[in-house]
Chain A
Amino acid sequence: MSERKCTLSVLVENTPGTLARVAGLFSGRGFNIDSLCVAETLDPTLSHLTLVTRGDDQIIEQIIKQLRRLVDVYKVVDVTEEGDYVEREMALIKVRAEKENREEIFRICEIFRLKIVDVTPRTYVIEVTGDKNKLEAVIELLQPIGIKEIVRTGTIAMKREKKNA
């Protein structure tokens, strides 16, 4: 069976220990976590996790069932399985901004519509938002110029509303 990437949208009770329970489930059962994003929701008693994992269909089925089995997990949706969805990730990239390569940086920023959010005489901090492909393309282009530091958020995702619904 072939591996696929799977993005899970998980609503959990906002209680201490819940995140540890989810993380422990993955490490204890040998499942992968590629990225994990946690944030509050409009309902202060619930938190939202977006979790990117990999596995064949059977593993992914197990992961989802195991998550649902946790007493503090309210809802699990496999965003990737249930059709159309939007995925976004953000990165802050600190690049070397010497005189000779500033032009190049500006050009890349323009092409990808990136924002420069901090400037010092020798560095820029660039904000990139997009799907994984865009982030990877930007990083690849900035690499030769000199990336000093990079911080990524991990993926968040949302199902698209059905067009004719």
Chain B
Amino acid sequence: MRGAKMVVEALKREGVEVIFGYPGGAVIDIYDELYKTDEVRHVLVRHEQGAAHAADGFARSTGKVGVALATSGPGATNTVTGIATAYMDSIPMVVLTGQVPTKLIGNDAFQEVDTTGVTRPITKHNFLVKRVEDLPRILKAAFHIARTGRPGPVLVDLPKDVQQAKGEFDYPEEIQLRSYNPTYEPHLKQIERAYQLLEKAERPVFLIGGGVISSGASEEVRELAERLNLPVTMTLMGLGGFPGDHDQSLGMLGMHGTYFANMAVANSDVLLAVGARFDDRVTGRVDAFAPSAKIIHIDIDPTSIQKNVKVDVPIVGDCKRSLERLLELIKAVGKPKKYFKERYKDWWDQIDIWRKRYPLSYKEDPNYIKPQYVLEKLYELTQGNAIICTEVGQNQMWTAQFYKFKYPRTLISSGGLGTMGFGFPASIGAQMGNPGKLVIDIAGDGSIQMNIQELATAMDQRLPIKIIILNNGFLGMVRQWQELFYEKRYSAVKFTTIPDFVKIAEAYGAMGIRITKTQEVEPTLKQILSMDKLVILDVIISPEEGVFPMVPAGKATTEMILV
């Protein structure tokens, strides 16, 4: 069997039904094999960055490994932002790139780039396949590494002669890598220590991050939170890991988190963090972060623990398994539910005071549509039953604040890298992976222009994605920083030429609608949500609206700017 065919066979063996890619000379053999099969569907994008983000959105929304395919040189370098985005958020992805023939490697051949070199720091692992004999094993390893442990993107670079060479296709069912053994099972002693802290706590907070989503631990999170009567807060990546409409939810933590979540964490005496990595957007000034708390930290990646904050009870293990063990322990020897109800009563009273003092809010304005209102309405109309992708900037933060994510894998957002242009191609992947579901991209007028070419891809596939542009006519988040910290010197945040997004939609054969008044919001949302086609809804919002609360970068999380 030829190498190119092995690639396609491996995709089948791994259960890959759809891949996202763009052809070129160095992958033409693989495309020839794709032509011959119906089992692997190929989505032709318009830019390789779109392929990588679509594979990523597919992975985030389904939990399966997303696959992207690109040619050598510029094809490969175009995927770089997409790979880095997936890497920062620990998303399982396999990226296949073509490479010049092995004998030309290092010669500055046409369309040659040292792809494994370029992507080394932004992949969980990568491979350059030099011999066709190695191909089945490497492909197996790539999928295995991508989806196990702390997931991440894996790149396989495939020289053209390897694709053309013939070899035995002996695809391993299982693979053991002696140097790669992620720890799933937590240390029971540590689980006991964690419980002892929680039992004696007076002001506990439960912090959940993206690890809860990727390990599928949201049931356990909920059970534990309810059993122990814990207030729950989430990082951006953790949203949906615990129902946003639950009484015990404090919403998001950090720079644009809620006042009450930040206050609760700052005043906590025990912080149980699961699958979160204490990114600077969450901690603010590190030495002022949860200063009196003993921290219990569960994470599958030992490097996340003790990296940014000092942890008292480190637990290395899969989030789901670790919470299962903790629950087992509590059921066997823990105090009854009533104990925690009573024990944390004063703490909840205090949290409720904070909640009442500064709930998430915004000022209404008769002249403008408020973006927060749009998101509240969208939540009301969808009841959390939609997959919401976001771009980056204010649109992303308003979404995180005002849409209550009830289920895991319903928020698809670039958290770690903050990649503008991610949301729309990711929504293509999400819709491909969830054909019956409502998929919405909340966009900014800046971000949407970064991968707007993918409208053609979405139309090709007849995807009924709804793009809602919160159009403030600004690179709003940067403008907000300039307003607050640079005395309103609005440098390079206003485009001179702004395209007519309605006409753009129409040019691609989609539907475009613009609204400018608050009363139009609800009926128009209703209208587009019931339509079975791609719609761009251009919502002209108040141009200088801010995202609040805000913890200025490098400040303590209690030093919030409130409105």
Contacts and interface: CB of A to CB of B under 8 A. Distances in A.
B125 A71 contact: yes
Task: Please name the 10 residue pairs, one residue from A and one from B, whose CB atoms are nearest each other, closest first.
Answer: A71-B125, A74-B179, A65-B303, A71-B180, A65-B302, A28-B121, A66-B303, A69-B303, A24-B120, A13-B179
A17 interface: yes
Interface in A31-74: 58, 61-62, 65-66, 68-69, 71-74
Contacts, number: 36
Interface of A: 12-13, 16-17, 20-21, 24, 28, 58, 61-62, 65-66, 68-69, 71-74
A12 B179 CA distance: 8
A6 B306 CA distance: 19
Interface string B249-272: 000000000000000000000000
B117 interface: yes
Interface in B170-214: 177-180
Nearest to B117: A20
Contacts of B120: 17, 20-21, 24
6 contacts: A20-B117, A28-B121, A62-B306, A69-B302, A72-B179, A74-B178
Interface of B: 116-117, 120-121, 124-126, 128, 145, 177-180, 301-303, 306-307
A74 B177 CA distance: 10
A66 B128 CA distance: 22
Contacts of A61: 306
B302 A68 contact: yes
Contact of A58 (B116, B128, B301, B306): B306
Contacts of B128: 16-17
Contacts of A13: 179
A73 B180 CA distance: 8
**Which of A13, A17, A24 has the most CB atoms of chain B within a 10 A radius of its CB?**
A17
Given A17-B120, A21-B120, A71-B179, A62 B303 contact: yes
A71 B124 contact: yes
A156 B15 CA distance: 47
A72 B181 CA distance: 11
Q: Please report whether the interface of chain A is mostly helix, strand, loop or mixed according to DSSP.
A: helix
A71 B178 contact: no
Contact of A17 (B116, B178, B302): B116
A21 B180 CA distance: 15
**Which of B128, B177, B178, B303 has the most CB atoms of chain A within a 10 A radius of its CB?**
B303
B145 A71 contact: yes
A62 B179 contact: no
Nearest to B179: A74
A15 B145 CA distance: 17
Contacts of B117: 20
A69 B116 contact: no
Contacts of B302: 65, 68-69
Contacts of B145: 71
Nearest to B301: A69
Nearest to A20: B120
A68 B316 CA distance: 14
Contacts of B179: 12-13, 71-74
Nearest to A45: B178
B307 A62 contact: yes
A61 B316 CA distance: 15
Contacts of B307: 62
Contacts of A71: 124-125, 145, 177, 179-180
Contacts of B180: 71
Nearest to B116: A17
A66 B150 CA distance: 13
Nearest to B305: A65
Nearest to A16: B128
Given A20-B120, A24-B121, 13 more contacts: A16-B128, A17-B120, A20-B117, A21-B120, A58-B306, A62-B303, A66-B303, A69-B303, A71-B124, A71-B125, A71-B179, A71-B180, A73-B179
Contacts of A68: 302
**Which of B121, B125, B179 has the most CB atoms of chain A within a 10 A radius of its CB?**
B179
A21 B179 CA distance: 14
A28 B306 CA distance: 19
Contacts of A65: 302-303
Contacts of A74: 178-179
Contacts of B126: 17
A11 B306 CA distance: 24
Nearest to A73: B179
A66 B124 CA distance: 12
A131 B413 CA distance: 53
Nearest to B126: A17
Contacts of A62: 303, 306-307
A88 B458 CA distance: 63
A66 B121 CA distance: 12
B57 to A, nearest CB: 25
B80 to A, nearest CB: 15
Nearest to B145: A71
A16 B157 CA distance: 13
A69 to B, nearest CB: 5
Contacts of A72: 125, 179
A31 to B, nearest CB: 12
A17 B118 CA distance: 12
A113 to B, nearest CB: 40
Nearest to B150: A69
**Which of B117, B128, B301, B302 has the most CB atoms of chain A within a 10 A radius of its CB?**
B302
B150 to A, nearest CB: 8
Contacts of B116: 17
